[in-house]
């Protein structure tokens, strides 16, 4: 018979100590095992996060630099054959002038500006370097001709002059310079011809091509014709408009519903039913909200396709339950003493709620809002169904204009054909999205700590 099963009276004091020690050891052991498992779980979770972040940053950082080409562009009258620019004084009415001006711009747009680009590239290349026109043009990004044209439209007196203009190197050239493509592959597997590749290397050596910070990724809109100039500006504004709509709609509606349900609504079968449904709504997969949005907002209400307004409304529906549930939780947590004291001092129920209870819950409501908005910011699935998965090459001026959103832009870039170039770009876009979210969460933490101090 083991010692610890003996009746206590029959144990000697030494034996009793022994039993206590054994028990303690077992308890300490289980406590240590639990602590160890907890620590291991945290290390594992952090490890995954660290792995994800390092992978994205490692892939994405190179995309934050761009290769600029410094070209001396000569607006040779033999190539740039245009009529003189119309002058306002020469026309009877403003409308006629506008029409003539538009016609002039059209004629400038239809010129073959690639010839100007070609001449500038040849001027920059070592004297007598032999390369096909087609191969030569693969070095500069295709928007170089627009860049040069716009300079000319803005200042037509440049005709016949030579100006220094910076253009972007093409995506294929960037792949070659940054080593996104294996440099040891044979010619047939390369994107560029051998002549173009060796000319690019020469340009890098003699400083015609230099590396700079890629502001274009933040300031430009998406581009397929000129991938090296593709940026996130359009998607950023699309996301921004949607977030503003979500905050303006979801917060007041959500907080108001929560206050009504928690403080004013009579407890009945109906309110129970509503409560259950709000909880269910919070668990509905986001894609369902997308289907709903397409059916109601676009097909029934005839709101524009691909517009941040519709996206914002869909995301509002998605965020509402989160905010309602969090606000109700916060209201429930307010001590009854506070309520009774307010009522006891003669405050009405409305005064009690708005003057005393609600201010105490601000920090929690704020946190819930920011978490809800951050969640909405990263949401992609419902947006695909309301036409936001489109190629949009402009910054939306209003929430009614077509736009795309940051997570959708990531999805679109992930699907781009030029894998070598867009893999880093995609990672860079993820970094921008994450930075946006970290800023949002930072604001939440800051406001929360300020409000908590005040409360």
Partner 1 sequence: MKTALLVSAAVIALAMTSTGAFAQSRDTIQVSGSSTVLPFASIVAEEFGSAFPEFKTPVVGSGGTGAGLKQFCEGVGDNTIDIANASRPIKDSEREVCTTNGVTDIREVQFGFDGIVFASAATGPDFALTPVMVYKALAAQVMVDGKLVDNPYKTWKEIDASLPDMPIVLAIPASNHGTREVFQEKVVAAGAEEAGLPEGLSDEDKAKALTTFRQDGVTEIAGDYTETLARLKSDPNTVGVFGLSFYDENKDTLKVATVDGIVPTNESVAAGEYPVSRPLYFYVKGQHIGIVPGIEEYVQFFLSDAMIGEGSTLEAAGLIPQPADKTAEVLAAFEAGAK
If the CB atoms of residues 216 and 402 are measured against partner 1, the closer one turns out to be 402
CB 421 within 8 A of CB 174: yes
**Cα gap 104→392, rounded to integer Å:** 27
Min separation Cβ 76 and partner 1, Å? 20
If the CB atoms of residues 10 and 302 are measured against partner 1, the closer one turns out to be 302
Min separation Cβ 81 and partner 1, Å? 16
Min separation Cβ 312 and partner 1, Å? 9
The CA-CA-CA angle for residues 198, 203, 204, to 5°, reads 95
If the CB atoms of residues 36 and 415 are measured against partner 1, the closer one turns out to be 415
Report the run of H or E that residue 210 belongs to, with start and end: strand 209-213
- Kindly state the tokens that stand for 168: 């972007």
Min separation Cβ 202 and partner 1, Å? 22
If the CB atoms of residues 28 and 450 are measured against partner 1, the closer one turns out to be 450
Phi, psi of 212 (to 5 degrees): -145, 170
If the CB atoms of residues 50 and 185 are measured against partner 1, the closer one turns out to be 185
Q: Is the dihedral of CA 396, 399, 401, 407 positive or negative?
A: positive
If the CB atoms of residues 170 and 322 are measured against partner 1, the closer one turns out to be 170
Helices (H), 233-380: 233-259, 269-282, 286-293, 308-332, 336-344, 349-351, 358-377
Min separation Cβ 432 and partner 1, Å? 21
**Cα gap 327→321, rounded to integer Å:** 10
Min separation Cβ 56 and partner 1, Å? 17
Q: Per-residue b/e over 20-39, b at no fewer than 16 CB within 10 Å? A: eeeeeeeeeeeeeeeeeeee
Min separation Cβ 27 and partner 1, Å? 49
- Tell me the DSSP string of 401-440: S----HHHHHHHHHT-S-HHHHHHHHHHHHHHHHHHHHHH
Determine how β-strand 209-213 pairs with β-strand 162-168.
Answer: unpaired
If the CB atoms of residues 187 and 205 are measured against partner 1, the closer one turns out to be 187
**Cα gap 173→199, rounded to integer Å:** 10
If the CB atoms of residues 126 and 254 are measured against partner 1, the closer one turns out to be 254
Min separation Cβ 329 and partner 1, Å? 22
If the CB atoms of residues 70 and 389 are measured against partner 1, the closer one turns out to be 389
CA distances to 59, 106, 230, 244 from 66, rounded to whole Å, are 15, 31, 11, 32
**Cα gap 262→219, rounded to integer Å:** 46
Min separation Cβ 207 and partner 1, Å? 28
**Footprint of partner 1 on this chain (CB under 8 A)?**
102, 105-106, 109-110, 112, 134, 142, 146, 181-182, 185, 188-191, 223-226, 245, 248-249, 251-253, 298-299, 301-306, 309, 313, 387, 389-394, 400-402, 414-420
Q: Is the dihedral of CA 149, 150, 153, 154 positive or negative?
A: negative
Q: Per-residue b/e over 159-188, b at no fewer than 16 CB within 10 Å? A: eeeeeebebbbbbbbbbbbbebbeeeeeee
Q: How far is CA 5 from the centre of its chain?
A: 66
Enumerate the β-bridge partners of residue 163. Answer: 73
If the CB atoms of residues 24 and 225 are measured against partner 1, the closer one turns out to be 225
Min separation Cβ 386 and partner 1, Å? 11
């Amino acid at each position: 018979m083991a010692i610890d099963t003996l009746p206590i009276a029959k144990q000697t004091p030494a034996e009793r100590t022994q039993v206590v020690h054994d028990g303690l050891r077992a308890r300490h052991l289980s406590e240590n095992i639990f602590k160890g498992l907890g620590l291991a779980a945290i290390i594992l979770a952090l490890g995954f996060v660290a792995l994800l972040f390092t992978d994205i940053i490692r892939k994405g950082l190179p995309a934050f630099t761009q290769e600029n080409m410094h070209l001396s562009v000569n607006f040779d009258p033999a190539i740039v054959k245009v009529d003189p620019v119309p002058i306002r004084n020469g026309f009877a009415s403003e409308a006629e002038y506008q029409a003539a001006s538009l016609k002039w711009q059209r004629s400038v747009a239809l010129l073959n500006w690639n010839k100007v680009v070609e001449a500038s590239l040849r001027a920059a290349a070592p004297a007598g370097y032999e390369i096909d026109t087609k191969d030569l043009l693969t070095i500069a990004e295709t928007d170089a001709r627009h860049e040069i044209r716009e300079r000319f439209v803005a200042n037509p007196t440049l005709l016949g002059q030579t100006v220094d203009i910076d253009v972007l190197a093409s995506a294929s050239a960037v792949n070659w310079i940054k080593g996104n493509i294996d440099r040891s592959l044979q010619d047939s597997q390369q994107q560029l011809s051998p002549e173009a590749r060796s000319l690019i290397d020469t340009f890098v050596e003699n400083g015609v091509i230099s590396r700079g910070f890629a502001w274009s990724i933040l300031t430009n809109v998406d581009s397929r014709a000129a991938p090296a100039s593709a940026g996130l500006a359009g998607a950023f504004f699309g996301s921004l408009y949607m977030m503003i709509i979500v905050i303006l709609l979801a917060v007041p509606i959500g907080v108001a519903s929560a206050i009504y349900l928690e403080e004013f609504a009579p407890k009945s079968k109906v309110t129970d039913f509503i409560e259950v449904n709000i909880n269910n709504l919070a668990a509905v997969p986001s894609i369902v909200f997308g289907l709903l949005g397409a059916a109601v907002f676009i097909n029934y209400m005839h709101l524009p396709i691909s517009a941040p307004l519709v996206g914002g409304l869909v995301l509002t529906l998605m965020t509402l339950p989160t905010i309602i549930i969090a606000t109700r939780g916060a209201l429930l947590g307010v001590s009854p003493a506070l309520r009774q004291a307010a009522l006891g001092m003669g405050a009405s129920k409305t005064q009690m709620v708005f003057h005393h209870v609600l201010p105490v819950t601000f920090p929690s409501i704020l946190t819930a809002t920011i978490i809800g908005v951050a969640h909405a910011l990263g949401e992609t699935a419902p947006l695909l169904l309301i036409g936001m998965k489109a190629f949009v090459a402009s910054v939306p001026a209003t929430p009614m204009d077509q736009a795309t959103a940051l997570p959708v832009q990531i999805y679109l870039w992930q699907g781009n054909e030029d894998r070598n170039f867009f893999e880093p770009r995609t990672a860079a876009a993820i970094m921008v999205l994450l930075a946006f979210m970290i800023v949002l969460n930072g604001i939440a933490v800051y406001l929360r700590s300020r409000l908590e101090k005040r409360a």
